Chains A and B, each alone.
Chain A
Amino acid sequence: MASLVVFVVVIAVLVGSTPGWPVVRETFFNAQQFGDSLPGLLEAFWLNVRIFLVAEPIILVLSLGIAIVRTLRAPVLLPLRLVATIYVDVFRGVPTILVIFLLGFGVPALRLQGVPNSPVFWGTAALILSYSAYVAEVFRAGIGSVHPSQRMAARSLGLSTWQTNRYVVIPQAIRNVVPPLLNDFISLQKDTALVAVLGPVEILRQAQIDASSTFNYTPYVVAALIFIALTIPMTRFADWVQSRMARRQRAGGTA
């Protein structure tokens, strides 16, 4: 604890003694600007929260479906498996921000009838497509982590391949991947800010607007603090779940 205090003091003194510090303090940590921008940023943040709340459940369902398709071994399903594999390869290979650009500017430019033009819609769709590819791999790893003897035991009781997946393998797979899943949730919460590149006024865009009208960067710091306020509880929760599962694992033994 003492070493931590010393460390913080040393850093503070070092930063405070740099020649540019007075200017930085004025442009990034201005109390007046802080108070002025906070309400607007909080309001804009509500859009990020809504994007997250819509995207996350869809990602979970979509990615679990993709993961299951990729683990099926029946030769008849080869085309389906191929599509799933290509999808994962493509969307894991392309930076999320590029997917957002391509969908957000590309699809509305097609002027299709009955297709929404809203940047929020396409930004969210891009996040869903990009994240589903990642989360599908997490689920696939989870399915792979279930011991083959579990599948064998289920089959020996007369359960079909599908029933074995549904009642024995997937419930255990989901349990095994809860910590990495929570990690991806946290990442998604932050990446909702990428939708800003399409123009909708979410928190990052609002901070840009505030900053460029006042020539002061304090709104960016405020935006960062708002993200931290949301992600830290989530991170702590993920840590807690992880340590609890590790304890259970140690107590479990053979099963």
Chain B
Amino acid sequence: MSVIEIGGVWKSFEELPVLRGIDLTIESHQAVVLIGASGSGKSTLLRCINGLETVDAGSIVLAPRTREEVDISAPRVDMDAVRRRIGIVFQSYNLFPHLSVLDNVTLAPRKVAGVRAEQATDEAMALLTRFGLGDKAGEYPDRLSGGQSQRVAIVRALALQPEVMLFDEITSALDPLLVGEVLDAVRELKAGGLTLVMATHEMGFARDVADQVCFLRDGIVFEQGLPEQVLGDPQRPETREFLARILG
């Protein structure tokens, strides 16, 4: 069963085409890893899925052929309702600096989903504890390390119990020593059966965790398949060239 179906998506920024007809199906409980050079369209694709950018052409359908089906790319869609169902974590954490870790996590459940404060706190504490952050609940973001901040950002997105999580190069801003703890958090989510779409440059991690790897170049899916195929035995010369560059 697919969670998201993307068909023929185009997106330009001021005449500059960034996505040029993307087709991609995200199956439920799968981890899809997007690889490709900076500017290949990975981030833009994720932001279109979350409705932070509107697409110029094509369609993005959430939960196709179910009662909850929504065409995200259609005009006049209630995007706030869609975003509750799709979590996203950014490279730069974007925690709210004026709120404690606990309040960062409970804000959306309380104000968006209408969960009672007490219940939201209990659920947030359970999630924070699961990701090794139980003792940080009362801290403010400026007291956290990069790895802790990014794990809080993951928990914050998870608190709305999304159907799918999007990760936009979430380890790129981190000290190399802190990358592991964040990737472990993603592994934990994958093991829990959540559907994931992740843009990353961590090829070792992609090989480990991905069910499907997509190589993007110039706004097109150049090659996709199992990680051992795309990363181990790439068919296209562009893919080989990219892998050779990134693996050094």
B-contacting residues of A (Cβ < 8 Å)? 149-150, 152-160, 163, 167-168, 171-172, 175, 248, 251-255
Q: Contacts A158-B81, A163-B111, A251-B142; is A153 near B97 (CB within 8 Å)?
A: no
Q: Contacts A175-B98, A254-B146, A254-B173; is A158 near B92 (CB within 8 Å)?
A: no
Most chain A CB neighbours (cut-off 10 Å) among B52, B84, B142 = B142
Q: Fill in one digit per residue for B42-65: 1 if any A CB lies within 8 Å of its CB, else 0.
A: 000000001010000000000000
Q: How far is the CA of A156 from the CA of B48 in the complex (A)?
A: 11
Most chain B CB neighbours (cut-off 10 Å) among A154, A171, A254 = A254
Kindly identify, within residues 66 to 84 of chain B, every residue whose CB is under 8 Å from any CB belonging to chain A.
80-81, 83-84
Closest to A172 in B: B98
Main secondary structure of the interface of A (DSSP, over half): helix
Asked whether A167 lies within 8 Å of B83 as measured between CB atoms, the reply is no
Closest chain B CB from A89 CB (angstroms): 31
Asked whether A172 lies within 8 Å of B97 as measured between CB atoms, the reply is yes
Asked whether A160 lies within 8 Å of B97 as measured between CB atoms, the reply is no
Closest to B82 in A: A158
Complex interface: chain B residues within 8 A of A158 (CB): 80-81, 83-84, 108, 112-113, 160
Kindly identify, within residues 141 to 179 of chain B, every residue whose CB is under 8 Å from any CB belonging to chain A.
141-142, 146, 149, 156-157, 160, 173
Give 14 pairs: A residue, B residue, CB < 8 Å, sorted on A: A149-B90, A149-B94, A153-B96, A155-B52, A155-B80, A156-B52, A157-B160, A167-B111, A168-B96, A168-B107, A254-B93, A254-B173, A255-B141, A255-B142
Asked whether A150 lies within 8 Å of B96 as measured between CB atoms, the reply is yes
Q: Does B95 count as interface, using CB distance less than 8 angstroms?
A: yes
Shortest 5 CB-CB distances between A and B: which pairs?
Answer: A153-B94, A157-B108, A158-B84, A255-B97, A158-B112
Q: Does B88 count as interface, using CB distance less than 8 angstroms?
A: yes
Q: Contacts A158-B160, A163-B112; is A149 near B92 (CB within 8 Å)?
A: yes
Most chain B CB neighbours (cut-off 10 Å) among A159, A167, A171, A255 = A255
Q: Fill in one digit per residue for B222-241: 1 if any A CB lies within 8 Å of its CB, else 0.
A: 00000000000000000000
Closest chain B CB from A105 CB (angstroms): 45
Q: How far is the CA of A172 from the CA of B80 in the complex (A)?
A: 22
Q: How far is the CA of A153 from the CA of B108 in the complex (A)?
A: 11
Closest to A157 in B: B108
Asked whether B111 lies within 8 Å of A150 as measured between CB atoms, the reply is no
Closest chain A CB from B190 CB (angstroms): 21
